[in-house]
Chain A
């Protein structure tokens, strides 16, 4: 009996040690980065990570000496517009695939899916040529238009819409709702969780864009935050690592907020009680 208890405890201790070690490995870079953002650059350069000269100076200089605010504003606008555009267009096309009956429905949907198989890198040259010929380089539009809709979003929402009970559609037909009313008053609220998931996904996707904005933007007027961060590093002859680290910390904050807010909605059981 005693032996059994001991081995159970050992097992538990061992698994906790393993979990803690893995958590440290994953989280350490993140916390070192945040910690470093509070240290003077001189201390960082010396490798003195346990310095006690903690201050907000890096954050102050990030905001005052660099155009990071402008970058942030650019990114917020672009990410927000992209998110809402994707929510609207993806949900509407998903609605059509689920609730409307038309010819070649499956074929068209397959075409949709095929675009998902194509990596974005493969589309860069044609997209760049298109944007350039439209004269939209170095403009918000260049960063928004290619991402107005996404095959993945349509696919995801379609799967979710298909779970909407058919009775709700029939009940709406009897009450005389037209397609738009059904879409707006029933399908969207019913699939709120998927909408929030897609919203968070597309917002973060837009927020973390790097390659495409690097190719299509050249001025601070439209440069987004990820490219701006890189800019901070190369503009200076001497890299102010403390400040760069502070900027990096600033730009992860929205990501964390989105995930945090999103998490609140990812509770199961929201749609319980619709049928049965």
Chain B
């Protein structure tokens, strides 16, 4: 009982590859997030699972049945669209009931019960006679959710459902979607470009980039043991600092010729790269002689500050998180150092950190 993708490929016009060799298993009842920058093929993948877009190569199995050639309706799933896709001429109630009526295998009483339950679950009971145009963005989003809830399909696909909402509402709806998914035991396949949504809701995350799967794993794995430079820099705000490094004597590594860290592992003898999360960087005020960077801008976030600084060498910009009462200002000269909790990438960007878990937990 799961959704299995095997070597899914999608090509347009024989030469333009949108997706190549995507394989994964999505367990029943899990919250699976497909994340990636725009244009990475994540929506295409979702559409292929739904059956709206044909696949070029590979196999999709839902509950041990190959569904490659099944039309969308026979795949027994629902979909929530980025733009909601509500029917403007139908009331909220009828919008939710539409799919059930269309499928024609539910009794009138059954439909009524399902629709009313679904509307209650998303708190739209009082608005059931309104038309979509009389609703706010968040309410429209809830109608689209109710439509998925009312259906008896156990797999629900969502294509960036929150991207049209403002930041506050997005957080609220995020929690509501998560709660609904848990309550109904839905298998939810969720596409987003927002790494925060992915981190906060997912059981498993699939990171897509350059038409390839970069990594599949739990949010913790993705954050702490990113497979490569791309995954590392995609997750985390502000993004991880990637700096060139050269091994010097013993375990010491010279980072960007500006400061040093200790690494307890084999590293390439020539050059490689070091990834340092902003909260692992330490900065202190320093005079011109001992300074290795200068501050560009400072963002005040309330409980902390983000300092963006330019390193003296190679014009590299780094971000560091400091306490909100730290007294820095733009153009200050500073000395940047790092804890030893860093990630090591080879020149191809692959994560070669040894015992990443131990290193992180240390």
Contacts and interface: CB of A to CB of B under 8 A. Distances in A.
B84 A170 contact: no
A274 B72 contact: no
A254 to B, nearest CB: 28
B172 interface: no
B119 interface: no
B135 A176 contact: no
A175 interface: yes
A190 interface: yes
Interface string B128-141: 00011111010010
A171 B85 contact: yes
B52 A170 contact: yes
A176 B102 contact: yes
A273 B134 contact: yes
Interface stretch (B86-94, B227-235, B286-294, B301-309): B86-94
Contacts of B85: 165, 167-168, 170-171, 274-275
A273 B86 contact: yes
A118 B78 CA distance: 48
B129 to A, nearest CB: 14
Contacts of A168: 85, 87
B188 interface: no
A49 B88 CA distance: 53
A167 B133 contact: no
A189 interface: yes
B88 A176 contact: no
A192 B89 CA distance: 9
A271 B89 CA distance: 7
B223 interface: no
B89 A171 contact: no
A181 interface: yes
Interface in A157-206: 165, 167-168, 170-177, 181, 185-186, 189-190, 192
User: Interface on chain A toward B: helix, strand, loop, or mixed SS?
Assistant: helix
A46 interface: no
Nearest to A177: B102
A173 B79 CA distance: 10
A175 B99 contact: yes
Contacts of B132: 272-274
Contacts of B83: 165, 167, 274-276
A189 B103 CA distance: 20
Interface in B1-33: none
A269 interface: yes
B79 A170 contact: yes
Contact of B73 (A175, A190, A270, A271): A175
Contact of A270 (B82, B84, B88, B90): B88
A181 to B, nearest CB: 7
B84 A275 contact: yes
B50 interface: yes
Interface residues of A, number: 25
Contacts of A274: 83-88, 132
A125 to B, nearest CB: 45
B124 to A, nearest CB: 14
B328 interface: no
A176 B105 CA distance: 12
A192 B132 CA distance: 16
A63 B137 CA distance: 58
B73 A272 contact: no
Contact of A189 (B71, B84, B89): B89
A36 B87 CA distance: 51
Interface string B88-112: 1110000000110011000000000
Contact of B135 (A174, A273, A275): A273
Contacts of A192: 89
Contacts of B79: 170-171, 174
B89 A167 contact: no
Contacts of A269: 133
B84 A175 contact: no
B77 interface: yes
Interface string A33-47: 000000000000000
Contact of A170 (B77, B81, B137): B81
Given A273-B133, A273-B134, A273-B140, A176 B103 contact: yes
Contacts of A172: 102
Contacts of B72: 170, 173-174, 176
Contacts of A270: 88-89, 133
Nearest to B98: A175
Given A167-B83, A272-B133, A273-B134, A174 B50 contact: yes
Contacts of A177: 102
23 contacts: A165-B83, A167-B81, A168-B87, A170-B81, A171-B81, A173-B72, A173-B73, A174-B51, A174-B52, A174-B73, A174-B79, A175-B102, A176-B103, A177-B102, A189-B87, A189-B89, A270-B88, A273-B86, A273-B88, A273-B134, A274-B86, A275-B84, A275-B86
Interface of A: 165, 167-168, 170-177, 181, 185-186, 189-190, 192, 269-276
Interface of B: 47, 50-52, 71-74, 77-79, 81-90, 98-99, 102-103, 131-135, 137, 140, 164
Q: Which 7 A-B pairs have the closest CB atoms?
A: A176-B73, A273-B132, A275-B83, A273-B133, A167-B85, A272-B133, A175-B99
